[in-house]
Amino acid sequence: MAKSRWKPFPHDPAPYTYAGDALKKAWPRLHAGDCEPFPDGKRAAALLKAAGKAAPKLDADALAAALQDAWRAFHRGDFEAAFEAGERLGPVGASVAVKALGIHATYLVDKEAEKQKRLQQAAELAEAAIRALPGEANSHYRHAFALGRYSQSLSVVTALKQGIAGKVRASLDAALALAPKHAEAHTAMALYHAEIIAKVGAMIGGLTYGAKAAEAERHIATALELTPDSPIAHIEHGNVLMLLRGEKGEDAAAEAYEKAASLAPKDAMEKLDAEYARAQLE
């Protein structure tokens, strides 16, 4: 990607600055949705060993410090710095790099072509992470996240022709096999089922892609149970209701968006999520 200034986070980052030990203390709340392990020295050493030749030329302590700084940048909304820091670390930094690239593209990139380009890049970074770190749930989840967001910008015909649905499903299955309580993967799986049914119908969706409304409802219910104070879980609950029920789901979807908008954001991403939900209600 050519060097350029990314559109900045449009809100006050001060409430989301987790300096020093504050990051570790807040980590369980910040990462309840994606089950990302805290990158301390022990975790960094395990990543270096697992990645082998794909690992950066750093010792465990230096890698831990670099990953923590990258995640601090992400949580305060400095998505460009988070992406660049993660990308420099190769597959070991892909989790934060892909999340920063994907969230920024989703909310802060206006041009559709640029958004698609960035989400494709995010998917490629995640593919490299899957090759280097196949035992990491987020290698697979970030891949599904990037591809899923990318496919939402395509026509049904194009998305089907590219076989994106099958790739998303495979990556989500892998993520949930490794981390059964991965709330964001459950949310994404709910959307997988609901979006296919909405695009091609229940019969074709079920026969061709294994998409079922009951599975969409089960996965979103699990996500809400695991992360009841996550704005995105409630936003996607509203989206699932609209996809499955159409106009009949509007009132329930509005309630879900209202819930998302009412929650206190824990970081910049959740602030963008909550503001998006608020905008849907206007």
Cβ-contact 207, 216 below 8 angstroms: no
* pTM assigned to the model: 0.94
pLDDT in the model for residue 2: 46
User: Quick one: average pLDDT of 260-280?
Assistant: 97
180 pLDDT higher than 50: yes
User: Quick one: average pLDDT of 115-131?
Assistant: 96
Kindly state the percentage of the chain with pLDDT values over 90.
Answer: 85
User: Quick one: average pLDDT of 251-277?
Assistant: 97
User: Quick one: average pLDDT of 131-146?
Assistant: 98
Q: What does the mean pLDDT of the chain come to?
A: 94
DSSP summary character for residue 267: S
Spatial separation of the C-alpha atoms in residues 8 and 100, rounded to whole Å: 12
pLDDT in the model for residue 219: 98
251 pLDDT higher than 90: yes
User: Quick one: average pLDDT of 12-37?
Assistant: 98
Place of tokens 């309580």: 181
274 pLDDT higher than 50: yes
Spatial separation of the C-alpha atoms in residues 235 and 276, rounded to whole Å: 9
Angstrom distances, CA of residue 124 to CA of 52, 102, 134, 159, 264: 19, 12, 14, 17, 33
